[in-house]
Amino acid sequence: AFSSHLNLKRHNCFETKVVKDGRYLVLEDSEKDPRVTETDRKISKIYKRGSTFYAALQVEGEAAGMISLWSREKSKISPEAVNILLTFANQISVVIHSAGLFEDNRDKIKMLLRLQGAGSQLNTCDTLDRMHEIVIDSALKIGNAERALLYFIDTEKDKFLISDGREIFVDEENKYSSKMKGSIIEKAFDRESIIVRDSVQNNKSIPVFDDYPVEMAIPLKIKDKFKGVLCLGKKGVAFTRDQKNILDILVINAAASYDSAIMHSMLSLEAKSLKTEVEILKGREDQLLGFHDIVGHSAKMQEIFRIIREVAGHDTSILVQGESGTGKELIARAIHRQSNRKSKHFVDVNCAAIPGTLLESELFGYEAGAFTDARKRKLGLLEYASGGTILLDEIGEMNLSIQAKFLRMLEDGYVRRLGGTDNIPINVRFIFSTNRDLGRMVAEGSFREDLFYRISVVPINIPPLRERGEDTIILAYHYIEEFNNKFNKKVKGFSEKSEEILKQYSWPGNVRELKNIIERIMIMQNVRGVIKPDNLPAEINDETPKSPLVLHLDESLSLASTYPVDYKMLINSVANTFRSRVLAKALEMSKGNKTAAAKKLGISRYALIRELKKLEDANDTIKDLT
């Protein structure tokens, strides 16, 4: 007995003829039978003498093989013997058919068990990485395949995501998606049906896998914005009907799990995004100080923040010194808000804006009849601020007569209203600020030495913006964010060249000037995306700048065709800008000394103060209008 593997197309011998015909053949004398050729003798191993019987084996009408019996001696095979042999062949066919059914069922049972296992794993899995691994591993085993890939397309962004079960690749440059043109993956995406590529079907399609002639693509129907395809490749026989059906069920189950996982992933990404925003805000605590909009990352500002934290809990007098526009009032308010007095009043008094005699009555109050117009009692600001904090801005402008009374109040802890006799105790936290050199004023005799030492227990010196380095850009971006919200703009920031220009500018008006310039740009310029050098005002952009008057007209009228200009507001804005530059230059040349600046301008000191106040009020009006 022996078995042999014959190709029906290539081999032409008795065995293949019998299989093709589905009949039987009898050779009673193989030595003399003219039908026997030398090829038959070699392939069929027919001996020179002998007899042979051939019968086809059929299963459900289709050829399943052949059985042959032979003898070394020639013999007559009777019809009865032929019938017996044919009956034997039929019984063998039945056995083969039964064995084939068992083998098919066994394979199907294995595939179904793998499908069940994959379903159980997918139901308990909530990460995309693990889900890819389960789907691909199960698909390889069910389909007896060697290669497998999962393809996903984000229909909103038109981007491919590819997974081999171990890693996920994002096809940012469409490197892989371009290779899908004309493949069964593209057809599966388009037709939303299973596409097979083998020697018979779609054999002209571009292969997905090199050297794997049999491929199958099964679409994943995922909700929302994603579509997917599972692609398998192998070198062996084609995919069976059972494999296709069971793999299709696997993909349907996977699609439902992907819906849940994608939703979970999106929620996780949103949570991570919110967490990142919180971390960014926490990281800005040193810049924003957490209780007031004081922006600063430079070493000098960090030191000021440290001092504020340390002194805020004590009632010690604080002297805040710095050039005009550096944010002295913000520092004072920050100290108040950080202290245990934050729920009480914060009162700010500009000593330079109130004439000497009037300042005394404003601070100490008066009784009815204390002077001609005093018809009824009035509480002073010191009484009003009791329990809270009072800021005396421009303390250097307080005249000597009031300084003496003020010193007495600091030492005794009570006030006496003008025209009154009662000593009224007060509980106030004092903060003083000035842009003048009080030490020099003491030397010149224009400020009391004893008062100077009394108010400067803790001095805080705010550096000018030109000495704060990186803070210029941090502040600029802070104001962009502020004015984006206020004016409903979408300016992203500055170009590198613009940032360099901002860093190099001397900022004589300090933070106030920076804020006003950013606000002006956001209102007057039609900025798209980022602020470029030609969006910046000429006074900081050019070495030989235009006058502010020409600058404002250029900026405003260039937009008139698109955004109609309010003539009255434009005239006032240009005039105020020019006035601001003149006053700022005079103060810069006088190192912040208002008396000296007023002399340079040929006006009185109080006239200068009034002009500064007008500018401040004008800026507030413009902000309210916008």
pLDDT digits (tens, 9 = 90+) for 393-423: 999 999 999 999 999 999 999 999 888 889 9
Residue 28: give the domain boundaries.
Answer: 14-103
The CATH number of residue 526's host domain is: 1.10.8.60
pLDDT of 193: 86
Specify whether 415 is located in the same domain as 303: yes
* Least confident window among 5-9, 57-61, 312-316, 575-579: 5-9
Section 455-471 average pLDDT? 91
In this structure, are strands 226-234 and 147-154 parallel, antiparallel, or unpaired?
A: antiparallel
Write out the two tokens for 611: 């002009």
Q: Among 431, 463, 495, give the residue marking a domain's end.
A: 463
Q: Among 433, 463, 493, give the residue marking a domain's end.
A: 463
Specify whether 543 is located in the same domain as 586: yes
The CATH number of residue 26's host domain is: 3.30.450.40
Question: What percent of the chain has pLDDT above 90?
Answer: 23
Write out the two tokens for 335: 């100290």
The span from the CA of 611 to the CA of 66, in Å, is 117
Specify whether 88 is located in the same domain as 167: no
Which residue, 301, 354, 361, 362, is CA-closest to 326?
301
The span from the CA of 126 to the CA of 263, in Å, is 10
Q: Among 463, 488, 517, give the residue marking a domain's end.
A: 463
Domain count, the chain: 4
pLDDT mean across residues, the chain: 80
User: Model's pTM, two decimal places?
Assistant: 0.46
pLDDT digits (tens, 9 = 90+) for 385-395: 999 999 999 99
- Is the distance from CB of 5 to CB of 43 less than 8 angstroms? no
pLDDT digits (tens, 9 = 90+) for 559-576: 444 445 556 666 776 777
Specify whether 174 is located in the same domain as 33: no
Asked if the model's pLDDT at residue 614 lies above 60, the reply is yes
Specify whether 307 is located in the same domain as 453: yes
Write out the two tokens for 617: 């009020």
pLDDT digits (tens, 9 = 90+) for 316-359: 999 999 998 898 999 999 999 999 999 999 999 999 888 877 89
Specify whether 250 is located in the same domain as 318: no
Question: What percent of the chain has pLDDT above 70?
Answer: 79
Specify whether 341 is located in the same domain as 444: yes
Instruction: State the pLDDT confidence band at 226, using cuts at 50, 70 and 90.
Output: low
Which residue, 132, 130, 148, is CA-closest to 140?
148
- Is the distance from CB of 349 to CB of 381 less than 8 angstroms? yes
Instruction: State the pLDDT confidence band at 299, using cuts at 50, 70 and 90.
Output: confident
Residue 293 lies in a domain: no
Residue 314 lies in a domain: yes
Could you give the C-alpha distances from 21 to 8, 12, 56, 62, 371, in angstroms and in order?
A: 12, 13, 8, 11, 138
Asked if the model's pLDDT at residue 290 lies above 50, the reply is no
Residue 37 lies in a domain: yes
Specify whether 578 is located in the same domain as 554: yes
Residue 98 lies in a domain: yes
Specify whether 441 is located in the same domain as 493: no
Specify whether 498 is located in the same domain as 554: yes
One-letter amino acid of 333: R
The CATH number of residue 450's host domain is: 3.40.50.300
- Is the distance from CB of 92 to CB of 121 less than 8 angstroms? no
Residue 24: is it exposed, middle or buried by C-beta count within 10 angstroms (0-12/13-18/19+)? Answer: middle
* Least confident window among 180-194, 304-318, 446-460: 180-194
Specify whether 447 is located in the same domain as 311: yes
Section 455-472 average pLDDT? 91
Residue 137 lies in a domain: yes
Instruction: State the pLDDT confidence band at 581, using cuts at 50, 70 and 90.
Output: confident
pLDDT of 543: 43
Specify whether 434 is located in the same domain as 315: yes
Asked if the model's pLDDT at residue 279 lies above 80, the reply is no
Most confident of 215-229, 275-289, 563-577: 215-229
What is the rounded end-to-end Cα distance, in angstroms, of the chain?
104
